[in-house]
Structure 1
Amino acid sequence: MTLSSDVLQYHRRVLTSAAVRAGYAHTCRYDEPAARREIARMTGVVMSVCGPGRGPNTPTMLVEALHRPIAQIAPELFADSGMGSLTVLDGGELSDDVYAEGCEDIVELLSGGVDPARRWLPTWAWMHGELVEREAFQQINEGASEEEYTAHRYFVVKQPAGGERELAELFSQAVGMRKSVRYVPIPADQVFRGKFWWPCPVCQWPMHVDGSQVRCRFPLHNAAYFVRDHSAKGRPLLQRRDGGVPRQPAARSLHREGPKRSMCVETAVWRHIVISGVSEICLFERLEALKERGVEVELWPGKDRYDLLVRVPATGWELRIDVKDYGCAVSLADRLRRKPPAARTIVIPDYRGEAQRDELVELLPNLTVLLVSEVLKAAKAEARKAGWR
């Protein structure tokens, strides 16, 4: 029997979610008593999706399969999706693919508060991005004005980590509200020798530390380093893996207690709010730089009804934009079909490339799909029409 497109996509999301959960459970199987039970439960989910006699049918077989692209578990589910290249486990830890792409297809496998693993699984492993965003801002948004909402979201993207008192003071100055999204102590795997941490130069979130290697978990930020043998004033220095010479981020001291305690937003907030926000704010700031040429831009209008409203009043040109940064065009198109965006123009970062743009154009014929550079080019062209140079 041939599955419909919707059923096929749902099964793919379920299998991806089960694989990610099993992979995380495998990484903490010696510390979390319920981890092995979770791997067994997710094996059952995978078996249900694959059908009788197909796919891994024991927890050991599933863990082994997670070290290879998940398309090998159920090739028919990933025939039209790049998500099949996702490898969940890399040695004894989760691969960066999980944070970069696997998080995009997470769905709730058990609803109604009956999922026993929610006690210890991180939220990003069972909660899809829209739910992460809604829960993160729900309490803050109650009674907040549109300006307060924008200022708060902008702050979280720009300041995802820092000292506890410093963050509180900056938040009070920038936003003028008391409530903020939750910040937690920087996790041990993002700390070097218990003393230092480094912010990613793109997203500013603490980078992952593995021995003498340091990297942002989001590969497209292209932030991967070695720790040098020598130091500066007692602080370790970084060197890019590719041998480049641009200035590297400076090490920051880790404080475990007191007003300087080192804090960061939770992984789910980083992945679903900060990562996307970096692209949104970058485009906003580049468009705002065209203000003197008659271009007006508004960030997250209507409390993020969509991402950007761009106007050139002199010509009457207007563009409502949703910025999307997805690794898999099929997954993004599926999500947009299930929940049509308020904006009719989808914009993707240039690093996603013309190939993904063209694929999305074909998948989403009722929407306009542009690269960031194409939006900037269009805004400048309208400014010239209005007589600005």
Structure 2
Amino acid sequence: MSDDELGSHYTDVPGQRVVAAALRAAYAWSVRDVHRNAAMLEIARMTGVVMEAHGPGRGPVTPLELVGVLRASLGSLLAGVRGRPAELADVVLLDHEGRLTENAYDLVCEHVVPLKDVVGSRPWLPSWTTMHSDQIRQQVFTAMIASTKQDEYVASRRFLVEHPAGDEQELVELKDRAGGVRLAKGGYRDVPEDQLYRAPNGKGWWWPCAECRWPMAVASSGKVRCRYRPHSAVFDLVPGDRPVLRRRDGARRSSPPAGRPAEGAKCVDAGVWRFVVVPGASELRIAAAAEHAGAKVLLWPFLDRFDLLVEAGDEKFSVDVKECLSLSSLIERLRRRRPSARILLPRSCEWQLETLQDALPELAVLTETKFLGQVRSAMRKAR
């Protein structure tokens, strides 16, 4: 499906445009030291989008006014705008340092709609601020399905999920050893500076999230954590020429990850991480748990008609894993495109079950916990 066809599935309402414009403006402000002229021009353009949605005499009317509003909750910016997402009312996009908050990366990005008809695309803007999730996934998967071979598709997608970051030469060697891996060109890039720590000797370091393996964000306060909040481990940075992490909560259930040199390191784009790697990590975790119970699992069967086909004794389960923190976006997506398998909410989204069932009572929905319980029960019966 083309980007234009994907885009036509999205209703272009003022609330969606304001959210997309706010995120783009917030990102531009956060990188203004690097892209000064382009960033300020982008903020001015996004101010125009917001003014158009609000109408004459309402809302911020200058770029600096818009930036000031982005430091407060989105509720004030969305007040009086038709189609405003209620779940974003308390979300703040910029912190006191002028950096994007975690909400921007793990929740607000799920509400992005393209604004190409208004302002065009900008090469320095990341994909997750300009395109919706389906477009990003489609771009990534196009290279994977070029051969239409199921084993190559699975190998390619699994490689991307399991290796979203690493030493460039090591990634090349792993890809060659895996065999049959097809990835989009330019899929890996330098680790962003705000996901690095610069030691006194000038050497850079990064740390992979234990759950998704993508570089965690490094705040000036010394807090280190994954930008996807359900990946909840938080660390304190112990600075030095060879920096280490210490768990902020004091728990000993897992050791902090070791620092890795920034020189020669690459990682996937934030959009690929958020919409391919993050859900993929949950899909692989659920598949591994089913296999541990003795079941046979096929990943992304029929070139991703759904996510998992699990054979447990005499029973077969086909499920589509939906890792979407925005419940309203998930409901809209499911109404627009009916799934071809049961919906499975991973552990980070199990809280959505009751509301999702109320909104879409005709769909079969279950949680990761219940699903794995069914698999184990089916395996016990088979024995």
8 Å contact from structure 1 (residues 330, 363) kept in 2: no
Q: Residue 31 and residue 74 in structure 1: after superposition, are their counterparts in 2 closer, same or farther (change >3 A)?
A: same
Tell me the residue number matched to 1:240: 247
Tell me the residue number matched to 2:143: 139
Tell me the residue number matched to 1:34: 38
What number of residue pairs does the alignment pair up? 365
8 Å contact from structure 1 (residues 197, 252) kept in 2: yes
Q: Does 1:348 align with 2:345?
A: yes
Q: Residue 115 and residue 61 in structure 1: after superposition, are their counterparts in 2 closer, same or farther (change >3 A)?
A: closer
Tell me the residue number matched to 1:87: 92
Distance across 2 between alignment mates of 1:9 and 1:321: 30
Distance across 2 between alignment mates of 1:318 and 1:85: 42
Letter in 2 for 1:346: I
8 Å contact from structure 2 (residues 15, 84) kept in 1: no
8 Å contact from structure 1 (residues 81, 328) kept in 2: no
Letter in 1 for 2:327: A
Shift of 1:15: 1.6
Distance across 2 between alignment mates of 1:382 and 1:164: 43
Alignment counterpart, residue 104 of structure 1, candidates 107, 110, 118: 110
Gaps of 5+ in 2: 1-8
Shift of 1:296: 2.7
8 Å contact from structure 1 (residues 20, 98) kept in 2: yes
State which drifts further: 357-366 or 8-17. 8-17
SS of the residue corresponding to residue 348 of structure 2 reads helix
State which drifts further: 204-213 or 297-306. 204-213
Give the RMSD, CA atoms, in angstroms.
2.3
Shift of 1:312: 3.2
Distance across 2 between alignment mates of 1:242 and 1:140: 40
Q: Does 1:186 align with 2:195?
A: no
Tell me the residue number matched to 1:220: 230
Shift of 1:309: 1.4
**TM alignment of 1:299-338, pairs within 5 A:** 299-314=299-314, 317-338=315-336
8 Å contact from structure 2 (residues 50, 59) kept in 1: yes
Q: Residue 178 and residue 106 in structure 1: after superposition, are their counterparts in 2 closer, same or farther (change >3 A)?
A: closer
Tell me the residue number matched to 1:3: none
8 Å contact from structure 2 (residues 313, 378) kept in 1: no
C-alpha distance after superposition, 1:82-139 (max 9, x if no partner): 133321111211111011101111111124xx84442221111101111111112313
Q: Give the alignment's TM-score, normalised by structure 1.
A: 0.87
8 Å contact from structure 1 (residues 24, 94) kept in 2: yes
Letter in 1 for 2:353: R
Distance across 1 between alignment mates of 2:55 and 2:179: 52
Alignment counterpart, residue 175 of structure 1, candidates 179, 182, 185: 179
Shift of 1:192: 1.1
8 Å contact from structure 2 (residues 152, 182) kept in 1: no
Q: Give the alignment's TM-score, normalised by structure 2.
A: 0.88
Shift of 1:351: 3.0
Alignment counterpart, residue 202 of structure 1, candidates 208, 211, 225: 211
Distance across 2 between alignment mates of 1:177 and 1:383: 33
Tell me the residue number matched to 2:3: none
Q: Does 1:251 align with 2:259?
A: yes
Gaps of 5+ in 1: 1-5, 256-260
Distance across 2 between alignment mates of 1:385 and 1:312: 9
Distance across 1 between alignment mates of 2:317 and 2:79: 40
SS of the residue corresponding to residue 90 of structure 1 reads coil
